[in-house]
Amino acid sequence: MVVFVIPILLCALFVLYIDPFNYFSLLTGIPEGIKKETVSNFNDVLWYTIDYAHAPSPGIIIGDSRSKRISVEHLREKTGRQYKHLCGNAVKINEIVDFFWFANSYKKLESVYIVLTFSIYNLYAFANRVVGAEAAIKNPLLYVFDRHVIEASYLVFSSVFLKRNISLWEPPASKEEFWKWSLDNWSNQQYGKWKYPLNGYKGLRDISDYCRQNHIELTFIIAPNHTDFQAKVDYFNLNGEQIRFKKDISALSTTYDFDYVNDLTKNKDNFSDPVHVTEEVANSLVDEILTGNLHYGRLLTNP
């Protein structure tokens, strides 16, 4: 019996010491920045949910990896409000809905930005990471013995103590090669199989109704994609569905659309890949929203 118990205890002690997602916030001597850099892309949903649970904020930015490009520090400087990210790489509509209700359970919300794109507005795009993260937050044992947490602990240990350069994925060598690879792969994944997300829209509508009833500022941002990626909507014969998507969202609350052909979306220098603008560009788009001085953004019908 002892033979089986000792490895389990050692594993638990290892996770407790490294604590890769700052669950226990113990003083391990490992800087938070190193942990975040090492594991946030490994399981960013868990990172952001734990971070929010420790220090809830009345302002939140919800979305996929595109929403990470919006600086919470920039928003705070411009608005005087505290904001936090609740994001996830390749996040799905149902997870965006889960993020909102998770945040709302911890803090009375005042301002909510939801970053969307047509590419995630899809019935077949579904994941359950927020629910899993919430369960881990409520039960320390689920966190300590979670496979991803154990693996993340090893990544942090390797980075800090073994001085290894941790890279979870190596992209193609040049921006041009990565551009072509991501354009083909991501469009096939996101548009190759598409169906109207009835439950996803209902979830967003419930959020809209709740925000209206509780005087929470809700703003949808349709993030810009480069025109190369925009052309894939036509390639997969989804133009009508994209139009419906924008009508759906704009019927819920104030919606700013940046995803159309313009000087911003035609210029590759504004993007790190076909679907991610640079942080500088993302913050400039937020400035358009805050000032009302729209240059690239289009204010869609506000109910």
Q: What are phi and psi of 114, to 5 degrees?
A: -115, 120
36 or 232, greater pLDDT: 232
Q: Which residues of 242-278 are buried (b: 16+ CB within 10 A; e: fewer)?
A: beebbebbbebbbbbbbbbeeebbeeeebbbbbbbbe
Distance between CA atoms of residues 255 and 213, nearest Å: 18
Tokens 């829209």, located at residue: 201
Q: Is residue 302 predicted with pLDDT exceeding 60?
A: no
DSSP lists the bridge partners of residue 220 as: 114, 255
Query: How sure is the predictor about 8, in pLDDT bands with cuts at 50, 70 and 90?
Result: confident
CATH fit for domain 2-299, picks 3.30.1330.60, 1.20.1260.10, 3.40.462.10, 3.40.50.1110: 3.40.50.1110
* Percentage of the chain exceeding pLDDT 70: 94
Answer yes or no: are the C-beta atoms of 258 and 224 closer than 8 Å.
Answer: yes
| Ramachandran sector of residue 268 (left: φ over 0; alpha: ψ -120 to 50; beta: rest) | alpha
Say which residues have a Cβ less than 8 Å from residue 33's Cβ, sequence separation at least 6.
none
Q: pLDDT, tens digit, for every residue of 167-216? A: 555 566 678 888 999 999 999 999 999 999 999 999 999 999 999 999 99
Q: What are phi and psi of 35, to 5 degrees?
A: -60, -50
pLDDT at 303: 47
Taking residue 177's Cβ as centre, other Cβ atoms within 10 Å add up to: 11
Gap between the terminal Cα atoms of the chain: 65
Q: What is the mean pLDDT of the chain?
A: 91
Q: pLDDT, tens digit, for every residue of 10-42? A: 888 999 899 999 998 776 678 888 888 888 778
Per DSSP, 273 falls in state: E
Distance between CA atoms of residues 87 and 90, nearest Å: 9
